[in-house]
Structures are given as structure tokens and as C-alpha cells.
Structure 1
Amino acid sequence: MKNILLFIVAVLFSLTTIAQEKFTEGEITMKQTMSSSNQDVNVMLSEIGEMITTTYVDGTKSRTESSNPMTGDVIVIIDGESNELLQLMDMPGLGKKYTSQKVEVTEEMLKTITITEGTETKNVLGYDLKQYKIKIIQDGTEMTMEMFITDKIQGVKTQQTAMLGDKVNGYPLYMVITMNQMGAEIVVKSEVTKMEAKTIDDNMFSLTPPEAYEKM
């Protein structure tokens, strides 16, 4: 159960945003649901229910927050200029933990990615979205992503679009990720429901872990 919970947190916050030079200060709200063809896993995922994440962005910095009785409280802070990432987790049974790392994309990583432009379209929040189909193979495990991207929102990327280099231009407002975890297929659906320009306190983007958190 602990491994599944850690995996869920990792998946949900692999959707964390990395702000680049053209995105102004603001707040992005996204809803996420998870399901599985494995009945036992699906029951557990249904207990988590719909996840709401809120991302605060200011220039090259972002902070994504989520809270759920099953997975606990998670905060991810990224400096898009230095590519530094801090993740704070307060999870049931694990307590307050943090991890920090550099977000880097190598040529070897890009070789594991296949991107195909699709023909379907969607409209989310008034934006016309273009479909991209992505396949990633890492450590023998395949993950597929279906992204619907607008080219009208530039300068802020999710970790998924960041790892695609310059092969995809724009921001995904709707995304479906399919992967296999411990023999069970898991599907994560994400949709941006609100984008609001507002002033964000710079203290929210500190990369210094609070004293109450222990390194994981």
C-alpha cells in the first residue's frame, strides 16, 4: 500500500508546472481522476476520488499544492531558471518528508520518446486544443500520453512537455496518461478548469525545506 501511495503522489505531481519566460503571475487549477482495469487497484483509486491541484506561477517559478485524506498534503516548488525542484510531503503513516533535485532532460531521454500529431480537437476554457500522442519507454516500462495543447498559452510547461524538448509547442489543458504499475494498468485524466492572473507572494517559491520536514 505504501508503494502505491508513493507512486500516486509521484504521478499526480509529475504534472507540476515549470514556468518559463513568457508566463505572467497567476493561478492554474486542474482536476485529476485516476482509474484502473484492475478491480482491487480501482477500489483504492476510487477512495482517493477527484484530485484538485492548484499551481501558482511567477515568472520562472511555480508552486503546486494538493491535499487529500488518502495521499496527504503535497507541495512541489520549481525554479524553472535553475531547474531546481523541492517536493514537500505530509502523508499518512510517513509524516513530513521532502525531496530535492535538478530537473534535467538529456539526449538519451529524448531518444526514448515518440511523438505523433493527432487529428482530434478539444475546446477547454475557450481554447482550441491540438492533439498529440506521446509514447515513452523508460527502464522497460511504457507510458503513453494523449495531450490536447493550446499554442495560445506560451512560457509555462508541465514536466511532461518540458521533457519533450521543442517537439511540442504550447500548454496542455487536457491530458490522459496510461501506464502499468505493479501489473495493473492505471489511467490518469487531467483537465485545467481555471486560469487566473493574479499577484503571487514570492515567499511561496522558497526552495529551502521547512524545519519540520525530514529528507526522504
Structure 2
Amino acid sequence: MIAQNKIEEGVVISTQKMSSPNPEVAAQLAMVGDVVTTTQFKKGKMHTQVNSIMMGNNTTIMDSDAKKMLVLSESMNGKTYVMKDIDPNEEEVDKFDITKGDETKTILGYECQEYNVAVNEGGVKMNMTVFTTDKIKAQNEQLNKMGSKLEGYPMYMKIEMNQGGMDMIIESEVTKVEAKPIKDEVFSLKIPEGYTNAQAAMEEGK
């Protein structure tokens, strides 16, 4: 495989699979099917679209200069949005126990470095194996929480967790990388018409 060039603007497509050692849980997760994520990136900005038959459509837009993240969700319950700050504080970063692994893996021609991550978030313990490349200069929502502790863009990620007594394994791997110009309006933090504030809707429902 030829060593790949650095990409600072373009599109990354990845596929996520969920499984479980528990046959009943595995059967439920199989109904969700593969989840395809399309990420467009440019100069510290990111636009990620996730399409799932079972979970609906979700769009995440991050702007590292504005330090803001907009999450748009479409489901049977309607269209909602959440606007968040993305500058991770020291307390959040310290939740992650990150060690650099000994392995490397080549994915789509990119040599990737292994990292092992352990975190307990909201009472849920997660162990993650991540392989990142320094050739793709793009934001990533999950890795952004870790601050500068973990470098690069994740080409492969395996998360092992137990949620509500259910053992789950989530594997995500990049299947396509394309360098291409992306229009600035793709990264707009303006809330589209027809979306309601998810936080306000939750408080009304209390």
C-alpha cells in the first residue's frame, strides 16, 4: 500500500456495527443493522451525518473556532436541536485513562497508531481500542472530549461497554476517504427551520 498524503479538506465515510456476546442482546442489535456515518471536514470544522433505519437521522456540526457544536435529530418524535460548547474542561479530560499501544494498523493505506482508552461516564464503564492517523486533519466528536491526550483521526474504533446490564461491542471503521472542496455553508451553526430546542422540550415534559 502507498503511504497516503495529508488531507485537510474532504469527506470520510465509516461503517459502525454493534454486537454482543449475549444472544438476546445480539438479536436486538442486529435489527439496528450497520450504521453509516458521512463526515465532511475543513479547517477545524466538521459536519457529520448519521443515517439509521432504527435510530433516525442525526447531524452534528462542530466549529473549533467558535467552540460550538450543533446536533440536529430527526426521528418519529419530530425534529429537535441541541447547541453545546465543545471546549473540554480539565475535569472532563481527566475522566479518560489513555495509553499509547504497541500496535499499528494500515487502513486504506494510512498507517494508524493504537491507543487504549478507559472511561467511566455516567456510571457506564467503557474500554476503547482506537487506531488513529495523523494524515487526516479533521475534528471528531468522541475524540474531542479527550482534549490533546489522544492525537490523530480515528480510522478504527472498538468500544466494549455494559449498559443497563447489557454487554455491547461497537466497532467503527473508515471505509472511504476522499479529498475534495467543501462549501462553507455546510458548516453553518444556524438552526434550520422546523427544529425545536430539545432541552426546552424536555423541561416542558417534566
* 1:111 aligned to which of 94, 98, 108: 94
Q: Contact 1:149–1:171 at 8 Å: present in 2 too?
A: yes
Query: Given the superposition, is the C-alpha separation of residues 69 and 98 from structure 1 closer, same or farther in structure 2, using an over 3 Å criterion?
Result: same
Structure 1 equivalent of residue 44 of structure 2:
60
Name the count of aligned residue pairs: 193
**Could you state the TM-score of these two structures normalised by the residue count of structure 1?**
0.82
Q: Contact 1:37–1:184 at 8 Å: present in 2 too?
A: no
Q: Contact 1:73–1:90 at 8 Å: present in 2 too?
A: yes
Q: Aligned partners of 2:124 and 2:104: how far apart in 1?
A: 28
* 1:145 aligned to which of 115, 119, 128: 128
Structure 1 equivalent of residue 170 of structure 2:
188
Q: Which amino acid aligns with 2:111?
A: D
Q: CA deviation at 1:137?
A: 1.8
Q: CA deviation at 1:23?
A: 5.7
Q: Aligned partners of 1:169 and 1:115: how far apart in 2?
A: 11
**Aligned Cα RMSD in Å?**
1.8
Q: Which runs of 5+ in 2 are unaligned?
A: 1-5, 199-206
Q: Which amino acid aligns with 1:122?
A: K
Once the two structures are overlaid, the 10-residue window that deviates more, 79-88 or 104-113, is 104-113
Q: Contact 1:23–1:58 at 8 Å: present in 2 too?
A: no
After superposing on structure 2, the runs of 4+ consecutive aligned residues of structure 1 that deviate more than 4 Å are: none
Structure 2 equivalent of residue 204 of structure 1:
186
Q: For residues 114-145 of structure 1, what are the alpha-carbon distances to aligned partners after superposition, in whole Å with 9 as ceiling and x for unaligned?
A: 11222222110111211110101233331111
Q: Which runs of 5+ in 1 are unaligned?
A: 1-21
After TM superposition, list the pairs within 5 Å mapping 1:1-216 onto structure 2. 24-92=8-76, 94-153=77-136, 155-216=137-198
**Could you state the TM-score of these two structures normalised by the residue count of structure 2?**
0.86
Q: Aligned partners of 2:94 and 2:55: how far apart in 1?
A: 33
Q: Contact 2:41–2:139 at 8 Å: present in 1 too?
A: no
Q: Aligned partners of 1:139 and 1:69: how far apart in 2?
A: 27
SS in 2 for 1:157: coil
Q: Contact 2:32–2:53 at 8 Å: present in 1 too?
A: yes
